């Protein structure tokens, strides 16, 4: 099935480029956040998808990491769709999400392993907020057993000049 880029595909194009970033990662409820730095290269796949490849170090300093994210828009679902993989994990994250009314915040939903109890799964949100053309923030949250969203990671991306 052939598709043509929609307005939502064009929204994703603002992610294309070279980025540097710094983040804070929660390593557990009783531990202070750990900082990490990384780079990301995001490219367009003919205006229909974007693919980002991130490189950095594990927040605990245990070695290098590589991450791959794909994002697109499925007009039949009326939703953004995508995937995420990382060299530090075995789970394939499958996204589905929407933009807010101001078209600045993309909220992606996924289900994955519950890091507090690996025998269970949990709901997650990855929230991409465009601050301006050269700065975006990614917030990752996990839904606890009580239904509350718990922040697990925040990362600031800055476009390389």
Whether 54 maps to a domain, the answer reads yes
Q: What percent of the chain is predicted at pLDDT more than 90?
A: 78
3-state secondary structure 96-160: EEEECCCCCEEEEEEEEECCCCCCCEEEEEEEEEEEECCEEEEEEEEECCCCCEEEEEEEEEEEC
pLDDT in tens, 1-19: 678 999 999 999 999 999 9
Task: Residue 70: give its domain's CATH number.
Answer: 2.40.128.20
Per the structure, the complete domain to which residue 121 belongs is given by: 7-159
**Structural domain contains residue 52:** yes
- Average pLDDT (124-152) is 95
Asked whether residue 88 is assigned to any structural domain, the reply reads yes
pTM: 0.92
More confident residue, 16 or 88: 16
Indicate whether 1 belongs to any domain: no
In a domain, 73, yes or no: yes
Average pLDDT of every residue of the chain: 93
Number of structural domains in the chain = 1
């Amino acid at each position: 099935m052939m598709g043509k880029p929609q307005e939502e595909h064009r929204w994703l194009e603002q992610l294309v480029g070279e980025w540097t970033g710094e983040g804070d990662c929660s390593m557990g409820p009783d531990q202070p956040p750990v900082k990490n730095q990384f780079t990301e290269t995001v490219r367009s796949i003919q205006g229909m998808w974007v693919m980002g490849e991130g490189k950095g170090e594990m927040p605990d300093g245990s070695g290098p990491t590589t991450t791959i994210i794909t994002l697109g828009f499925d007009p039949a679902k009326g939703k953004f769709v995508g995937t995420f993989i990382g060299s530090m994990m075995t789970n394939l994250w499958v996204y589905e999400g929407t933009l807010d009314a101001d078209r600045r915040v993309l909220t992606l939903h996924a289900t994955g392993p519950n890091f507090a109890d690996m025998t269970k799964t949990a709901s997650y949100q990855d929230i991409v907020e465009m601050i301006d053309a050269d700065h975006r923030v990614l917030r990752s949250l996990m839904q606890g057993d009580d239904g509350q969203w718990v922040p697990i990671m925040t990362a600031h991306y800055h476009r390389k000049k």
